[in-house]
Structure 1
Amino acid sequence: MRRRFPWQRRTTILLALVMALIGATVAAARPRHDLKFAVSFPSATRTTAADGRAFVIVSTDASSDPRDQIDIVNGVPYWGRNVDGLRPGHAVTLDTGPETYGYPRESLNQLPPGRYYVQAFFNVYDTFHRGDGSTVKLHMPCGDGQNMFDSPQNMYSTPQWITITGDEDQPVKLTLDHVITPNDPVPAGGTCQQGNPAETEHVKRVKILSPKLSAFWGRPMYIGANVLLPAGYDDPANANVRYPVEYHFAHFTEKAPHGFREDGGNDFSKFWLAPSSPKFISVEVREENPFYDSSYVVDSPNTGPYGSATAQELIPALDQQFRTIAAPWARVTSGGSTGGWEALASLVFNPDVYGGTFAGYPDPVDFHRHQIVDVYDDANAYNTYRQWDTPTQRPDSRTAAGDTTYNMAQENLWELALGDHDRSGGAWAIWEAVYGVQGKDGYPALVWNKRTGDIDHSVANQWKPKDLDAKLAAEWPTLGPKLRGEIHMYVGDMDTYFLNDAVELLQKNLAAQTSPPSDATFTYGREKQHGWSPYTDAQWFSVYAAYVASKAPAGTDVSAWRGAVAAGGTMKAATADTASTMSALLPPTMDGGVIQQSDTGRGLPR
């Protein structure tokens, strides 16, 4: 055996160390395997191919399905990807490529190793060959109010625990083994569109096929209404009584208007059933659609002619079925948030159909303050830029103390991960669809880049027909004589979504009108947030009753429905002008119209 010299032994040891270091370095430099999920469904779940958006949702909390834990603030991570023609037994892969996009982590590889409660979901898109020649793929709601994660025909997997190591060399397989079915039984030959809620003694349900909407969407489309009848409506003694109508706009719901209960189990129900209360018919429209849970009750190149369908098809059907006073002076609109915008817009676009509005904390009524963004003049929706300073993020939601809950970029990117082409079912998506024009691809033209927030002013300038303040200003010579004394607004001056800013612009511009004067009223709740109202729902009906009585033609007998406020015998229509009537009805104001009151109103989600 050949003898080894000491320097040879040292060289061997050194070489071994060098090789070990090289191996460790190579191992450390080797990239982790990209995380992938393979999502599929068996024929037992669905027998035909599906278009739509596939999702993977992860959580560390198994107390509920991960799909129910998605939220803008403190929500769980999720990733989505569009897919066309996915067949049973075949898989779509969600990976780190550009087709897969997530929130609050954009890439799947940003998910750290760990143990996760995971669920796959699939939002099914229908293909619409619309009457204008465009073809789009959107999810058709089915009595769920466009609630993606609870909408019939959508699919989801049984949640399961998995461990992510960061070095998976094969996709994690998830099987969509459940399909969502309608919440309500669908009658034979019927449809699940707009739901099929049950009727009660005072709550009736109406659903009609809309020829206008069907022609636009290229398939049968329905609209509906929840109708709350006054106490004594079916009493033979009242067989000849006709009633004024409150059109209360809100998000899609199958609940009775204003939370009415037949057992009188809440304050509003006790009021409604009391003999002395004003007797109205209250109507809430059900207009879920392929973009959102509400249509915004106006005609739009993207959502269709919902304004015309409501005013020209639904209201005549209601007038025919129920004993309404089928005249504009006996119809008032009301609502808050989305419903507040709809209440004002319905009057502005249909001044010969309705006779007044009581609109609370409305979605933006002047696009110089689209929440906090001036779509006409700002360069970016997400940030304010200055020459020598870092960008300042624009807030989206705030607390009463002024702290930011989340910013503009966060909510918009949250929606983008739920669906591109404004298919998220979110607020920013429906605003773009309702206010804006149709893009070349048939989907809504984007008013700003969803990733960067950069505003496209050529698109923004085409929003003006739906800018209610701009419309009123431009058309006041025609609209003014019809709307004088008919616009009544209220909002908290610390509205959660900065909606008071646009209301204040509207007030300023209406106050400048003199030919004729607007005689509009604006009431502000001091340091009140979204959902504030100066009155309870029950109290509002006394306001409506006095207002409608003041609008009634001279000599009209209003005693049959006016209620106890007409104590002392038959009350004829008021002779005073509407502005004087309203100044007596609305709360006392101070500090330029700002009032301090407790928050007694029913808050509505945006």
Structure 2
Amino acid sequence: MKKPKRALMHLIAPVILILTLFIFSCSDSDTSANIELSFPSEHYDAALDGRLIVLISEQNETEPRFQLRDDSKTCQGFGMDVTDWKPNEPLKFDMEAFGYPIHSFKDLPSGEFFVQVLFHKYETFNRADGHVVKLPMDRGEGQQWNRAPGNLYSTPQKISIVNGKFPELTLKLDQKIPPIAEPEDTKYVKHIKIKSKMLSDFWGRDMYLGAHVLLPEGWETHPDVTYPLAIMHGHFPSDFGGFRTTPPDPNLESDFSERFNVEGYNRIVQQEAYDFYKTWTGPDFPRVIAIKIQHPTPYYDDSYAVNSAAQGPYGDAITYELIPYIEKQFRGIGEGWSRFVYGGSTGGWEALAVQVKYPKEYGMCFAACPDPIDFRAYCLVNIYEDENAYYKEGTFRKTLVAGHRDNLGNVDATLRDMNYRELVLGTKGRSGQQWDIWEATYSPVDEEGYPKRIWDRLTGKIDREVADYWKENYDLAYILKRDWAKHGNDWANKIHLYCGDMDNYYLNNAVYLAEEILSETSAPYYNGEVDYGDRAEHCWNGDHENGNHISRLRYHRMFIKKYVEKLHTVAPKGADLKSWRY
């Protein structure tokens, strides 16, 4: 009986070997497929540096380049750095490149998909600190990789993935995103742009700052009046879009806001903009100059309005170059008490940051839903005590840290998801997204000149030395506590914080901690305001009467009135508080 079994095994062994080799060859084919790319010389006649991003989506109603996001509705992306890519030169995409949300090409599901490739163009900067870095220069779009003028992309193409095998592709990046037109001046809205000497010296090339300026009613007919300056910080806005001199368009096709679950939200936005115009020009609104600062950097759509190692002296450039220029051009009073700052989210952090960093140069701040102002609550991470940003770890299990929630607490993205998406969009802090700009603002630079990571982007392990640097330089709540004895007299009556207690990014946690510090101040007491919105989401700004979808459109009219009502608490004796109230 044994001999036939041996004979059978001799026959089976070669078959097993052949099957094994076949299986391995099939799995190897997952990453041996080629995506060959090129761009025509009609778009660029010189070699390019930048980031190639392959995008794979299930539908093409909107292009794949607009579908990469943090939640479960995202498309798939893979990223690859490129140096010295010449026109018409075929380039093979790295099939081992890191991907989000699926990390490897070989793990993609079978099915029918659309593929598109985008090239995000970098420039070379020879900085004053001796570092040479390659970064994407903002081109008027506010550091949006999928909309940046000059970026190249391919026409979406339908493909089939079968049993993990990606097809051979030859794609030409024959589309080029066109330039953005400069906004035009109107009676009320003016646009300025100045070359910053400070920033140009740091970056080794001409760098500019700008602002959209909203003039008060009667500015032209009161040539001898000087005005307070209302400074709005926040993400790169294209214009004073919240100021509309005509009624809403009756032919506007109604849309639906998924975020706010509101039908016809575009009509609401137009109506609010028109209502603001009527309020601004009405008889009872304070006459001030309102501005929106424009300070995009090679890392983000704005600089966070402070000096930093990786981005340069943006805080000083804005405070000592841009704002005095605006006041001189448009008759601002030009004194610290007559300038106040406000904003939400990024703008909320910036409003508090410049008040903290420049105590005498700004007269009051109103910070709504600010980015983390206490790094013990860097969203849901305590960078001083936690070992890992991505997980809460125990002896027998570890739990992913949440990154985003809705107003009922439902989590739709983890912190790891959000960081992995950025890693696809850019290495070395070059994604142009939220977690990267925080590092570009708060971190020292590494040996190459790029921002040091607060944690390893793949593993989440926190770097304690970088955390200590953040604490001493950019943890606003800690700095307030540390320096209250020195600057308390200049901060008193000026600090106002607002946040929804269901902020989508858990930003309320840092506000709670900052409130504890402020409540313990003395000699003098901070004498400001901290307020929370019940079940309110991100962008809540202290409006208890209207929902988020309305209150977020009323920053100007709300905070300008609040400032004027409190102005007497910060204005020096003899200050002109009347001539501009005509």
TM range (shorter): 0.7 to 0.9
Q: Spell out, residue by residue over 1:183-204, the C-alpha distance to the aligned partner (whole angstroms, 9 max, x if none).
A: 11xxxxxxxxxxx321111000
Contact 2:243 2:276 in 1 (8 A): yes
Q: Distance in 2 between matches of 1:56 and 1:225?
A: 35
The amino acid that maps onto 2:228 is P
Match of 1:261 among 244, 249, 265: 244
Deviates more, 1:29-38 or 1:510-519: 29-38
> Match of 2:401, as an amino acid?
R
State the distance in 2 between where 1:435 and 1:497 align: 19
Q: How does 1:453-464 map to 2 (within 5 A)?
A: 453-464=460-471
Stretch deviating more after TM superposition (553-562 or 502-511): 553-562
SS of structure 1 residue aligned to 2:504 = coil
| Superposition map of 1:537-552 within 5 A | 537=555, 538-552=557-571
1:243-294 residue CA offsets vs partner (Å, 9 max, x unmatched): 111111010011206x011226522121111122111110110011100001
SS at match of 1:482: helix
Q: Are 2:425 and 1:418 aligned?
A: yes
2:26 aligned residue (8, 28, 31): 31
Matched, 1:406 2:413: yes
Structure 1's 477 and 157: CA in aligned 2 closer, same or farther, altered over 3 A? same
The 8 Å contact of residues 264 and 273 in structure 1, kept in 2 or not, is answered as no
Which of 295, 316, 329 in structure 1 is aligned with 2:324? 316
Is 1:60 equivalent to 2:58 in the alignment? yes
Is 1:111 aligned to residue 130 of structure 2?
A: no
Please list the CA deviations of residues 420-479 of structure 1 after superposition, one character each: whole Å capped at 9, or x if unmatched.
101011110000110111111210011100001000101111112111111111211111
> Structure 1 residues 547 and 87, CA, compared in 2 at 3 Å: closer, same or farther?
same
1:347 maps to a residue whose letter is: Q
Post-superposition CA distance 1:40-94 (Å, at most 9, x none): 1121222111111112111121212111111111110011101110111223322
Contact 1:45 1:176 (C-alpha < 8 Å) held by counterparts: no
Write the distance in 1 (CA, Å) between the matches of 2:111 and 2:166: 16
Distance 2:284 2:167 in 1: 71
After superposition, residues 47-446 of structure 1 pair within 5 angstroms as 47-73=45-71, 74-97=73-96, 100-165=97-162, 171-184=168-181, 196-235=182-221, 238-256=222-240, 259-263=242-246, 266-387=274-395, 389-446=396-453
**3-state SS in 1 of match to 2:26:** coil
% same residue: 38
TM-fit CA distance, 1:18: 9.7
Taking the aligned partners of 2:475 and 2:25, their CA distance within structure 1 comes to 55
1:490 and 2:498 correspond: yes
In the superposition, the TM-score normalised over structure 2's length comes to 0.88
* Conserved? CA contact 1:226–1:283, under 8 Å: yes
**Contact 2:191–2:211 (Cα < 8 Å) also in 1:** yes
Aligned 8 A contact 1:37 1:56 in 2: no
Matched with 1:554 is 573
Q: CA RMSD in A?
A: 2.2
Distance 1:416 1:309 in 2: 30
Distance in 1 between residues matched to 2:214 and 2:345, nearest whole Å: 21
Tell me how far apart the structure 1 counterparts of residues 419 and 14 of structure 2 sit (CA, whole Å): 51
Equivalent AA in structure 2 for residue 343 of structure 1: A
| Contact kept? 1:201, 1:262, Cα under 8 Å | no
Structure 2 unaligned spans of 5+? 1-7, 249-273, 544-553
Q: What's the CA shift string for 1:130-162, capped at 9, x where partnerless?
A: 001011111001101001111122111111222
Structure 1: how far apart are the matches of 2:576 and 2:531?
A: 31
Secondary structure of 2:284's counterpart equals coil
- Contact kept? 1:45, 1:179, Cα under 8 Å: yes
Residues 24 and 380 of structure 1: is their aligned pair in 2 closer, same or farther, counting only changes over 3 Å?
closer
Scaled by the length of structure 1, the TM-score of the pair is: 0.84
* d(CA) in 2 for partners of 1:514, 1:18: 84
Q: Is the 8 A contact 1:246 1:281 kept in 2?
A: yes
- Number of residues of Structure 1 aligned to a counterpart in Structure 2: 535
Q: How many Å separate the matches in 2 of 1:51 and 1:434?
A: 24
Superposed displacement of residue 402, structure 1: 1.6
| Whole-Å separation in 1 of the counterparts to 2:205 and 2:316 | 17
Change (3 A) 1:169 1:330: closer
Distance 2:429 2:385 in 1: 23
CA pair 114-212 structure 1, distance change in 2 beyond 3 A? same
Alpha-carbon distance in structure 2 between the residues aligned to 1:165 and 1:173 = 18
Q: Cα distance, 1:543 vs. partner?
A: 1.4
State the alpha-carbon separation in 1 of the partners of residues 452 and 193 from structure 2.
31
1:72-128 alpha-carbon deviations (Å, 9 max, x no partner): 11110011101110111223322333xx11111111112233322111111111111
Correspondences of 1:575-590 after superposition (within 5 Å): none
Does the CA contact (< 8 Å) of 1:490 and 1:533 recur in 2? Answer: yes
Unpaired runs of 5+ in structure 1?
Answer: 1-12, 185-195, 564-606
**1:205 corresponds to which letter in structure 2?**
H
1:496 Cα offset (Å): 1.1
Q: Is the 8 A contact 2:109 2:164 kept in 1?
A: no
Residues in 2 aligned to 1:19 and 1:432: alpha-carbon distance in whole angstroms: 57
Aligned to 1:587: none
- Post-superposition shift, 1:480? 0.4
